[in-house]
Amino acid sequence: MVSRAERSAFGDWWWTVDRLLLAGLAILMLAGLVFLMAGGPPVAERLGLSTFHFVNRQVMFLIPALFIMIPVSFLSLRHIRRLALLVYAIGMALILLAFQYGPEIKGAHRWIMIGPLGLQPSEFVKPAFVVLSAWAFSEGARRKDVPGTLLALLLLPATIVPLILQPDFGQTMLVTIVWCGLFFIAGLHWFWVMGLGGAGLVGIVAAYEFLPHVRARIERFLDKDSGDTFQVDTAMESFARGGWLGRGPGEGSVKRILPDAHTDFIFAVTAEEFGIIVCIALLLVFAFIVLRGLTLARRSEDTFCRLAATGLIFMFGLQACINMMVNVHLMPAKGMTLPFISYGGSSLLSLALGMGFLIALTRRRPRAEMMDTYNQDWPRG
């Protein structure tokens, strides 16, 4: 146990961090390894890899993920903003480089190869974008001499235009919805709410008209006879076969024919082997983390902390909802991973960065520390 009287950096961190939030994230990480042991081996065997290839790689990525999340959670508010700016700048540069040098995978240039390691830069841009948007909105509300709202308005198209060109409609939609949520929380007038809603509708229509893969996904969702719906149909069959209690670990059969059983459809594999009750329990863990994060954000007196924490937890919860809704055929396929559960190195590392930001933002801090941080970031002339 760490004594409250201990004045070390770890002691200060331990007594100011929200340990319930930490516990919820730890449960997700451990659950992810368990569920990946069910969904990963059949995919690995089909690809001619060792049985536990994806499980071993997930563990390999989980270790640096922890080394990202924990140190980032120690950061002060000033260093959170500076790290977010650095990550955003590097991430956007890598996205642009991916157009020229990245491999084309399923018709998109979303990856950049750094030696033997493949990274998806857009994953890292997401948490940094949320923090920077919250920073801009909060500064615009706090100081009239800082064009914060204008910067936030410019930040959105600067981020989503390269994502659209990749193309990556799922990430574009996620980033845009989170940004609109931040704008609303920051005090957006109802006139702008209607305007943004209309712009979003126009964007969906334009994507349907000009992006063939988006049109195909929407049409397959609305009409099964319009295209291949094998993965979604197979995922739904997993829930039916598993029932309430599941068929038992390792006893699932649908995962052997489901191409993305270890990534996009791991929730369906979990349903077949562990049952709908375990899926509900997993859903409750996600709900607990989201509600806990929102509660901590609401308690914060600092506008930046409140906006950034809300945006990060909104993005986390929305991504989980999208993945699970796709698995139960409540929305078209998006290629979105289930946070800390699905296999994916870039996703795991970026989620660790985002949750590190969240833990740091929701730590208990004296008001004097926050004011000193702002004065150093934006000195008055």
Give per-residue pLDDT as tens, 326-351: 888 888 777 788 999 998 888 999 99
pLDDT averaged over every residue in the chain = 84
Backbone angles phi, psi at 228, to 5 degrees: -75, 115
Q: Would strands 117-119 and 112-114 be described as parallel, antiparallel, or unpaired?
A: antiparallel
Q: What does the alpha-carbon distance between residue 16 and residue 365 come to, in Å, rounded to a whole number?
A: 7
Nearest to 238 by CA among 38, 60, 48, 75: 38
Q: Of the ranges 83-87, 183-187, 367-371, which is most confident?
A: 83-87
Collapsing DSSP states into helix, strand and coil, what is residue 235? helix
- Give start and end residues of each alpha helix (H) in the chain: 9-16, 19-46, 53-73, 77-101, 121-142, 148-165, 169-185, 190-210, 212-222, 230-242, 266-274, 276-299, 303-327, 345-361, 367-377
User: How many angstroms separate the Cα of 245 from the Cα of each of 16, 86, 282?
Assistant: 39, 47, 14
Concatenating the DSSP letter of every residue in 267-283 gives HHHHHHHH-HHHHHHHH
Residue 306 confidence (pLDDT) above 90: yes
Greater model confidence, 377 or 54: 54
What's phi and psi for 113, nearest 5 deg?
-95, 125
pLDDT band at 220 (very low <50, low <70, confident <90, very high): low
Q: What is the pTM of this model?
A: 0.89
Of 195, 197, 151, residue with least CA distance to 177: 197
Total residues found in the chain within this entry: 381
DSSP, collapsed to helix, strand or coil, labels residue 353 as: helix
pLDDT band at residue 64, thresholds of 50, 70 and 90? Answer: very high
Q: Which amino acid is at 115?
A: G
Is 179 exposed, middle or buried (CB count within 10 Å of its CB: 0-12, 13-18, 19+)?
buried
Beta bridge partners of 105: 108
Separation CA 99–CA 165 (nearest Å): 9
Instruction: Determine the pLDDT at residue 381.
Output: 42
Share of the chain above pLDDT 70, in %: 84
Nearest to 280 by CA among 267, 263, 292: 267
Q: What is the model's pLDDT at position 370?
A: 53
Query: Cβ contacts of residue 7 below 8 Å, gap of 6+?
Result: none
Q: Calculate the dihedral angle through the C-alpha atoms of 346, 348, 351, 353, rounding to the nearest 10 degrees.
A: -80
Backbone conformation region of residue 48, classed left if phi is above 0, alpha if psi is from -120 to 50, else beta? left
* 300: CB partners within 8 A, 6+ apart: 306, 309, 361, 362
Q: What is the pLDDT of residue 368?
A: 47
Q: Is residue 369's pLDDT more than 70?
A: no
**41 — pLDDT class (breaks 50, 70, 90):** confident
pLDDT of residue 107: 67
Q: How confident is the model at residue 378 (pLDDT cuts 50, 70, 90)?
A: low
Residue 202: pLDDT band by 50, 70, 90 thresholds? confident
Which of 85-89, 97-101, 256-260 is predicted most confidently? 85-89
CA distance 19 to 4: 15
One-letter identity of residue 44: A
Mean pLDDT comparison of 57-71, 135-149, 214-228, highest-scoring range: 57-71
Average pLDDT on 102-107 reads 72
Predicted confidence at residue 226, as pLDDT, reads 59
- Report the alpha-carbon distance of residue 134 to residue 140 in Å, rounded: 10
Rounded (10°) CA dihedral 121, 125, 126, 127: 120
Planar angle of CA 213, 219, 221, nearest 5 degrees: 105
More confident residue, 224 or 96: 96
Q: Tell me the three state secondary structure of residue 113.
A: strand
